[in-house]
Structure 1
Amino acid sequence: MLGQGGLGSVYKGVILPRDIYAAVKMLSYKCDGEEFINEVATIGRIHHINVVRLAGFCSEEMRRALVYEYMPRGSLDKYIFSSERSFSWHKLNEIALGITRGINYLHQGYDMQSLHFDIKPHNILLDDNFVPKVADFGLAKLYPRDKSFVSERALQGAVGYIAPEMVSRSFGVISRKSDVYNFGTLLLEMAGGRKNADSNASQTYYPSWVYEQLIINHDQQVEVREISSSSAVDMHELERKLCLVGLWCIQMKPHDRPTMSEVIEMLEGDVDALQVPPRPFFCDGPGDGMPSSVYDGFLLFTPLS
């Protein structure tokens, strides 16, 4: 067994007679044969270097399984949350770009729009060369490209990653920008090597803590400390880039967040060209619009399906 999630258990298997390793997801939810085949047919059309490829499926009476390409390096979380830094800042930026391209493809790369709703380090897998691939579409729903939002009843998200509009429509409609919010949290975790919803960490809301490390002077130039260690040394420019892009992605209102194609441009561009995002309301200070205790509810609760 490689792991277990809401949809079922994942096992390491072998595709015969080619003797190729595969990841076999034994589905625990019930669906009829026609529904399953339709879902597989849609997933099978997704082909991108930064998205895990579906190799095939199994269906026998009520037993269903999806067979994916095997990712020998495992998931991203075991590298970014380790006690020792596994990747250079250049490699982390490269991985972030790959994830962005994969999500952007899911959003607009083919004739159906796939919304993931569960983007987190555990669902980013790495191949032999540490190329990142977006995995686990357990919470994703496929919609025609002309649909701009989806029903809240279909949603459920991971604690610490869920976008505000998935809890309250007063923040906006649920859309591709909800995935952008998930991705922004992922970027901040990659930069700091710390989980956003970590019960063992301090009670300070993590993105708020990151924002406080970006000290803005009157010239809008940013003087920073490294957030990934306790030493007060200058922040690497790529660490700063991940933080700034991540903070743009987790803006409260969906229309204030960039699209994934815009995120690609931001990550490919020069860090000095990035503007500092507006001060989010989860940071203490005048004009925040809402106390941080209100936002804490978004970390503790997820909407019922």
Structure 2
Amino acid sequence: MDSKAYKNSNYSVEYMTVNTTGFYVFGYDEKVLVYQIGLSVSNFHVVKLDFNGQFTISSFSGTNLKQEFVGPDDGCQIPLACGRVGLCTDNTLSSSPLCSCPPNFHVASGNVGGCVPNDGSNSLPLACTNNHSESNSSDVSFLIIGYGVGYFGNIYSDPFMYGVNLSVCQGFCLSNCSCLGILYRNSSRSCFMIENELGSISNKGEEDMLGLIKVNILTNNKKNSQKERFPVIAAVLLPIVGMILVMAVFLLIWRKFRKSKNQDVKLGKSISISHSSGDLDHEAFYIPGLPSRFDYEELEVATENFKTLIGSGAFGVVYKGVLPDNNIVAVKKIMNIGVQGKKDFFTEIAVIGNIHHVNLVRLKGFCAQRGHRMLVYEYMNRGSLDRNLFGNGPVLEWQERLDVALGTARGLAYLHSGCDQKIIHCDIKPENILLHDQFQAKISDFGLSKLLSPQQSGLFTTMRGTRGYLAPEWLTNSAISEKTDVYSFGMVLLELVSGRKNCSFRSRSRSRHSNMDENNSTNNSGNSSNSSATGLVYFPLYALEMHEQRSYMDLADPRLEGRVTFDEVEKLVRIALCCVHEEPTLRPNMVSVVGMLEGGTSLPQPRMESLHFLRFYGRRFSEASVIEEDNENGSVIMIQQQPRDSTPIISAFSYISSQNISGPR
């Protein structure tokens, strides 16, 4: 689950090794690489699995051990951080977590460790074995440990059941002697089981996650006396009672099934879009871990009749809302309803609702009712990156920009290599990077994503994205891959350095970032392929020229007023230029980019032969700028496609107009 981990295949892990370059795990008789984690080059590494379940990799730096990887990095995700059923809370003042006991439990005495039930007639069960059956010695019940809890095992496993109510979840656990507890998510009606061993309970779970622990009710004497007193009655009544219970369960299931026919969600069905029906309210789809479903009236009240507009894009507008539980949300109203709009809507639910990462915006729910299509996201209180970077508010400090770059890179690395299926975002830009507290970056808007299996080439047939961030392969009929996102990320990285849009129409004199002398300015203008009579500048080309001259400080945002060093700017510019290589195979993957930003991977030198295309773009930018200035409605610059064995003439595809070209045209 770590952002450094690069997933290569879906084989089961069978073997692991570590050398001077990285940590590797293999499957299929040690022949297939499943995961790899890049490490700094070192003479040797020390790999340790601690008694408590924490895994660390360290290397020698001078005379000291330097920790390079730890998993899990959250102390409460260690199986027995606080003992059996101990309630674990992060401790900001220490690396050791704070431990307590949940309601209905107290600290166990003696050497037992962890927590035990307050009621002495209850005991924690053991998982069943061939020589043990708990049903012979006790009745079984549940003790509630509360809402908002989590369990380390949930990270590595999916829910046992989807779309069931709490009583059904409890029933399955009661019928399975290896089940020792359950966690139930109300929003998606998902049932997680704690099996075989009881570990610690995390106090940092999802708000709607309810935890229950199975307990034995010690009633052996009573059972024995009843068995001796009424053996015949028991033999007759038990089958009858069992049949009645079975019939009652079937009746409840039948009624639930009848009721669900009038809903959008039907258990056990896959996404199914009817082209003959004008209303999606009767279409059936099933998504594992489905987020909450809201009625239109609920969201209308939450947003005060869609009063506060906080953003807009190619697929809809976003409003601020407050749910009844006082949680602030962002409600995205999908505008372009139609077959393509329907597909994008359900794609976004399927993608965001089923993946979880700290640098991806969380989908809390959706609405599909009477033609309304809405998505409910967690609210990001600092807004989008473009407003913070290009707006008139307080300037983003360099460390904050680094944090945004690293968070975005980690989110993309997870999408590309951390999910079961590769996810290509296709529209990475500052507007789709949202900021939370402490400028934590989260990627949003997965409506243009494509889910690719490892066997698929990823060739798209329609152009998607936004001007200024589109990779060259969109125009050459080349296969679209995750390297397309890498290109867009590189363009965003350049904007983080300069503090302005790469494609903004600004004069060269206004874009200079240092007080250069007249001779230097003249020389630069003379050899620059993006110069024009009006002095307009295409910043990616300008960055390439300054890289060639090693004049990196000319690229830094002047608003930082010296609060950034030469080496810091050089690092981001070199990474950005490597990301925007014309040839996709020369671009690094996002896992490598994360390593570069973190400092664990050495910085490569940009390949100049794969960056010459920026000179064509710069020249076309100047030409397009003149045309656009003459046309107040914006001009469409045509693309001349040449044979594949010749150099394509690209007329500034990044500047097609002032509008997004998200989605098919």
TM over 0.5, shorter chain: yes
Aligned counterpart in structure 1 of residue 439 of structure 2, from 130, 150, 157: 130
Residue type at the aligned position of 2:439: F
- 1:250 aligned to 2:580? yes
Q: Which amino acid aligns with 1:68?
A: Y
Amino acid in structure 2 at the alignment position of 1:258:
P
Alignment of 1:1-305 (within 5 A): 1-16=309-324, 18-30=325-337, 36-37=345-346, 39-82=348-391, 86-153=395-462, 155-169=463-477, 172-202=478-508, 203-215=536-548, 222=550, 224-229=552-557, 235-269=565-599, 273-279=602-608, 280-282=611-613, 292-293=619-620, 294-301=649-656, 305=665
Q: Paired residues, what number?
A: 291
Shift in CA distance, 26/224, structure 1 to aligned 2, threshold 3 Å: closer
Change (3 A) 1:75 1:175: same
Residue of structure 1 in register with 2:115 after alignment: none
One-letter amino acid of the counterpart of residue 243, structure 1: V
Q: 1:141, 1:252 → 2: CA distance?
A: 22
In the TM superposition, residue 83 of structure 1 has moved relative to its aligned partner by 5.6
Partners of 1:132 and 1:148 in 2: how far apart?
A: 30
Amino acid at match of 2:335: S
1:82-125 Cα offsets, whole Å, 9 max, x none, are 46762332222122111000011111211122211111111110
Closer, same or farther: CA 240–296 of 1 in aligned 2, 3 Å: farther
Deviation at residue 283 of structure 1 after TM alignment = 5.2
Is contact 1:119-1:182 (8 Å) kept? yes
Kindly state the Cα deviation for residue 199 of structure 1 after the two structures are TM-superposed.
2.3
Matched residue SS, 1:55: strand
Q: Output the CA distance in 2 between the equivalents of 1:291 and 1:195.
A: 14
Check 1:109–1:201 CA distance in 2 against 1; reply closer, same or farther (3 A cut).
farther
- The answer to which of 195-204 and 56-65 deviates more is 195-204
Provide the C-alpha distance between the structure 2 equivalents of 1:201 and 1:152, rounded to a whole number of angstroms: 37
Q: Which moved more, 1:58-67 or 1:144-153?
A: 144-153
In structure 2, give the amino acid aligned to 1:224. Answer: Y
Amino acid at match of 2:599: G
Alpha-carbon distance in 2 for matches of 1:147, 1:190: 33
Q: 192-201 or 126-135: which moved more?
A: 192-201
Higher Cα Rg: structure 1 or 2? 2
**Letter paired with 2:409:** T
Partner deviation per Cα, 1:142-179 (whole Å, 9 max, x = no partner): 232432323122x321111110001222xx42111111
1:197-221: CA deviations, max 9, x gaps? 11235423211101111235xxxxx
Whether the 8 Å CA contact 1:215–1:224 is kept in 2: the answer is no
Residue equivalent to 1:219: none
Aligned mates of 2:471, 2:554 — CA distance in 1? 26
Q: Counterpart amino acid of 1:227?
A: L
**Given the superposition, is the C-alpha separation of residues 296 and 184 from structure 1 closer, same or farther in structure 2, using an over 3 Å criterion?**
farther
What CA distance in whole angstroms lies between the structure 2 residues aligned with 1:196 and 1:224?
A: 16
Secondary structure of the 1:117 match is: coil
* TM superposition shift of 1:193: 0.8
Residue 135 (structure 2) aligns with:
none
Q: Partners in 2 of 1:48 and 1:201 — Cα distance?
A: 41
Identity %: 38
Q: Indicate how the Cα distance of structure 1 residues 11 and 97 shifts in structure 2: closer, same or farther if over 3 A, else same.
A: same
CA contact under 8 A between 2:467 and 2:654: conserved in structure 1?
Answer: yes
Matching residue's letter, 2:357: H
Code of the aligned partner of 2:461: E
The structure whose RCO (Cα within 8 Å, separation 6+) is larger is 1
Q: Is the 8 A contact 1:81 1:194 kept in 2?
A: yes
Structure 2 unmatched ranges of 5 or more: 1-308, 509-535, 621-648
TM-score normalized by the length of structure 2: 0.41
Amino acid at match of 1:264: V
1:296, distance to aligned residue in structure 2 (A): 4.5
The residue type paired with residue 23 of structure 1 is A
